[in-house]
């Protein structure tokens, strides 16, 4: 009987329960051993798994079962199905949360009982340890069967069982409790990171006004097709990438390109999904499918950049690749070889083997790195420096470049009046322009009115105020018509000297507007998004640390180079998100790079950089994508983060040396018979106390420049 051969097929699954990047290696190792499965790839941040299956239908049924046995959950994804949103279940309602609460309560109860009746305290400690060991032990067995016999779960399980076996149940309970807390916190952090993608999706409106058969109907933006014509009202977000076929307006593209000033768009110009329309009504022809619009591409770039990062395995997981089997092998040899080969007393050598097992308990090693990292993170938080994990802290100390976004990062993120040039004496140019612009919400108009108020100017009353989209604002003052527009709009009213002055101001990266009265040019007003007050000092400090700064901006080249020249750093301008991503990859080839930004357009670069740093006042996407954030929005915080990281790295190296040094010392004394069980316990708890106290020093000292 003939068989129908199935063609290998690429399948995708949504995976939940991954709380740290080491889960990636576990899943890839386990699934790689399944027959008919190949090319396994796990995206930790996206919570997805993809693989090639020789028998697709069988894999859809069997893979979730295999994954479930390892302590995770999975469901097949269809080609067009979205990944499930981040789980918003409160931590105390999750399985890991309940485990932490239960083991914590039992451990606390045992501690109280030990004061009342020490003889009874052992049993609550045993119950707490065994309760916590059930899920970890089950996972350790499943991982061992799947090809990862020396996982951190194995190490913790063997250590805790060994402690219970020699009567040190309190040690076992505390180790299990701390491990459970760590797993829970990692899961909470991972869920928070994945939730950031929601803010990107929210940029595209749900509905669009589509022209069909002479009528305008409302349809889901996700159903738009190439060639559809949509209407975009003033204040609406653009629902799709397209081309303007009728209308003129200003569009706020800052969320996508980083351009600090709204740009004028008219017939034939391209518009991007997620940008905000200004005061004009537009008719736009859709040029890209919804799944290929600008926002969708940015989402994919963020996910790909995060997925391409090398998984940061926990220190103990890496170290246990040889430490765990070596420690277990040495303990087994200590117990069996002397009695079998030399006829020594079994009781003596079992005692020494159990002492060795306690010495090998990873408490000090488990805490050596996290204790330093936790102290450094707490020290940073006191100074407004938010770090989202140990990997970012470790990488910051090794970076060689820092890439800055311009708008809202190096600059304040809003235009300000820098120059007022009077062309016809006797006219208060700023007051008259502010009167015309008083009712406008345009960023340049707001900057002019804010400056006039700051100077306590008396504004005349303007009537019949309005604006011609993309051209000029206008109003009537004392019976005369005034306009505020671009030099191009007022070109015929400007003489050669005025044109030269406007050109010089624009050459300095400033936006120039002209005040007109009945067609006569009265004056020029220049505006620019100015650098933050501390920007120059922050860049100079980074250079003293041996780090090279560079600006990456979506703004125009003239403005970007003008701001960069003021601050004394190189600039790469007119960059779209994919261009910023390419620049980050180029800098990474020359060493570690940190990216500092605040906008949605910075999200791919923040994710691709060795460390992404978001300004505290930036978008939710930038904050969620980044590895660190400057809550106080002071650029000097970047150098503070680097200095803090370097001190933390030195502290980590000290802690590892202390933990391993003490274990090596007590290993020697145990083999010589000079170590008792009490000394073996002290070898671990003493090292734990020492590394913890050493780590706490990070809280007492300020970071050096």
Catalytic positions, please?
405
* Bridge pairing between strands 399-404 and 520-528: unpaired
DSSP 3-state assignment of 52?
A: strand
**Per-residue DSSP letters for 381-396?**
HHTTEEE--HHHHHHH
| Cα-based torsion angle of the residue sequence 676, 677, 682, 684 in order, rounded to the nearest 10 degrees | 120
Say how far apart CA 104 and CA 509 lie, in whole Å.
60
Contacts (Cβ under 8 Å, ≥6 apart) of 157:
133, 136, 137, 140
Residues 6+ apart with CB under 8 A from 358: 162, 163, 166, 168, 171, 677, 680, 681, 683, 684
Tell me phi and psi for residue 392, to 5 degrees: -65, -40
Distance CA 131, CA 244 (A): 64
| Four-point Cα dihedral 350, 356, 362, 365, nearest 10 | 180
Sign, CA dihedral 312-313-319-322, equals: negative
What is the rounded distance in angstroms from the CA atom of residue 282 to the CA atom of residue 244?
Answer: 7
Identify the H or E element spanning 523: strand 520-528
Alpha-carbon span 650 to 414, nearest angstrom: 41
Residue 531 DSSP one-character state: B
Residue 221 phi, psi dihedral angles, 5° rounding: -60, -30
In angstroms, the first-to-last Cα distance of the chain is 77
- In 3D, which of 93, 273, 290, 299 has the Cα closest to residue 196? 299
Is residue 394 within 8 Å of residue 318, measured between CB atoms?
A: no
CA atoms in the 13 A half-sphere facing the CB of 570: 9
Tell me how far apart the 2 most distant CA atoms of the chain are, in Å. Answer: 116
CA–CA distance, 162 with 361 (Å, rounded to integer):
9
- Cβ pair 535, 635 in contact under 8 A: yes
**Distances, alpha carbon 229 to alpha carbons 121, 245, 282, 342, 514, in Å:** 75, 9, 10, 90, 36
How much helix, strand and coil, in percent to the nearest 5, is found in the chain?
A: 50, 20, 30
> Which DSSP string do the residues of 182-244 spell out, in sequence order?
HHHHHHHHHHHHHHTHHHHHTTS-SEEEEEETTEEEEEEGGG--TT-EEEE-TTPBP-S-EEE
Length of the chain: 705
3-class SS of residue 484:
strand
Burial class of residue 343, CB neighbours in 10 A (0-12, 13-18, 19+): exposed
Judge contact between 527 and 553, C-beta under 8 A: no
* Helices H / strands E in the chain, number of each: 22, 26
Which alpha helices (H) appear in 33-151, and where do they start and end? Answer: 56-69, 95-116, 122-145
What letter does residue 407 receive in the DSSP assignment? I
Task: Give one DSSP letter per residue of 418-441, joined into a string.
Answer: EEEEESSTT--HHHHHHHHHTT--
DSSP code, position 601:
G
């Amino acid at each position: 009987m003939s068989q129908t051969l199935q063609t290998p097929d690429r399948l995708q699954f949504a995976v939940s329960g991954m709380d740290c990047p080491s889960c990636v290696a576990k899943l890839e190792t386990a699934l790689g051993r399944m027959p008919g499965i190949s090319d396994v790839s796990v995206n930790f941040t996206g919570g997805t798994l993809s693989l090639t299956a020789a028998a697709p239908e069988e894999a859809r049924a069997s893979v979730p079962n295999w994954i479930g046995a390892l302590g995770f959950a999975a469901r097949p994804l269809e080609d067009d199905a979205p990944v499930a949103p981040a789980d918003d279940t409160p931590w105390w309602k999750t399985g890991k949360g309940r485990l932490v609460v239960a083991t914590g309560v039992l451990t606390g109860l045992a501690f109280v009982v030990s004061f009342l009746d020490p003889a009874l305290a052992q049993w609550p400690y045993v119950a707490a340890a065994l309760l916590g060991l059930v899920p970890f032990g089950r996972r350790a067995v499943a991982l061992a069967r799947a090809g990862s016999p020396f996982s951190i779960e194995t190490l913790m399980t063997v250590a805790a069982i060994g402690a219970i076996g020699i009567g040190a149940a309190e040690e076992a309970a505390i180790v299990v409790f701390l491990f459970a807390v760590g797993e829970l916190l990692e899961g909470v952090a991972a869920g928070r990171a994945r939730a950031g993608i929601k803010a990107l999706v929210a940029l595209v409106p749900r509905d669009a006004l589509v022209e069909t058969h002479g009528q305008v109907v409302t349809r889901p933006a996700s159903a738009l097709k190439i060639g559809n014509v949509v209407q975009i009202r003033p204040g609406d977000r653009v629902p799709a990438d397209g081309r303007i076929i009728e209308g003129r307006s200003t569009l706020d593209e800052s969320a996508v390109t980083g351009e600090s000033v709204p740009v004028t768009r008219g017939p034939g110009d391209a518009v991007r999904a997620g940008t905000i329309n200004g005061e004009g009504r537009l008719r736009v022809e859709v040029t890209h499918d919804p799944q290929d619009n600008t926002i969708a591409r940015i989402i994919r770039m963020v996910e790909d950049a995060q997925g391409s990062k090398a998984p940061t395995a926990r220190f103990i997981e890496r170290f246990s690749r040889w430490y765990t089997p070596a420690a277990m092998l040495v303990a087994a040899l200590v117990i069996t070889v002397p009695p079998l080969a030399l006829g020594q007393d079994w009781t003596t050598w079992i005692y020494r083997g159990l002492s060795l097992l306690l010495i090998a308990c990873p408490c000090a090693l488990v805490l050596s790195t996290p204790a330093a990292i936790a102290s450094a993170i707490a020290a940073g938080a006191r100074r407004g420096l938010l770090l989202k994990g140990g990997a970012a802290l470790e990488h910051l100390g090794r970076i060689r470049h820092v890439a800055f976004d311009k708008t809202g990062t190096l600059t304040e993120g809003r235009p300000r009046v820098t120059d007022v040039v009077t062309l016809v004496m006797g006219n208060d140019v700023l007051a008259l322009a502010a009167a015309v612009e008083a009712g406008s919400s345009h960023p340049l108009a707001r900057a002019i009115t804010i400056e006039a108020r700051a100077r306590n100017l008396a504004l005349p009353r303007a009537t019949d105020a309005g604006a011609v989209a993309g051209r000029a604002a206008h109003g009537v003052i004392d019976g005369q018509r005034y306009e505020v527009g671009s030099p191009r709009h007022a070109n015929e009213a400007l003489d050669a000297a005025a044109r030269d002055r406007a050109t010089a101001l624009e050459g300095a990266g400033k936006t120039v507007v002209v005040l007109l009265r009945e067609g006569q040019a009265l004056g020029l007003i220049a505006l620019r998004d100015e650098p933050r007050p501390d920007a120059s000092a922050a860049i100079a400090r980074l250079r003293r640390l041996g780090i090279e700064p560079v600006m990456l901006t979506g703004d125009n080249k003239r403005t970007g180079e003008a701001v960069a020249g003021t601050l004394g750093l190189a600039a790469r301008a007119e960059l779209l998100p994919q261009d910023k991503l390419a620049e980050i990859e180029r800098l990474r080839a020359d060493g570690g790079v940190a990216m500092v930004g605040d906008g949605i357009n910075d999200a791919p670069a923040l994710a691709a950089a060795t460390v992404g740093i978001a300004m505290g006042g930036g978008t939710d996407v930038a904050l969620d994508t980044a590895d660190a954030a400057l809550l106080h929005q002071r650029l000097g915080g970047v150098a503070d983060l680097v200095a803090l990281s370097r001190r933390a790295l030195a502290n980590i190296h000290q802690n590892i040396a202390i933990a391993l040094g003490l274990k090596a010392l007590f290993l020697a004394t145990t083999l010589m018979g000079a170590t008792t069980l009490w000394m073996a316990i002290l070898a671990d708890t003493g090292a734990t106390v020492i590394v913890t106290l050493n780590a706490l020093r990070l809280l007492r000292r300020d970071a050096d420049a």
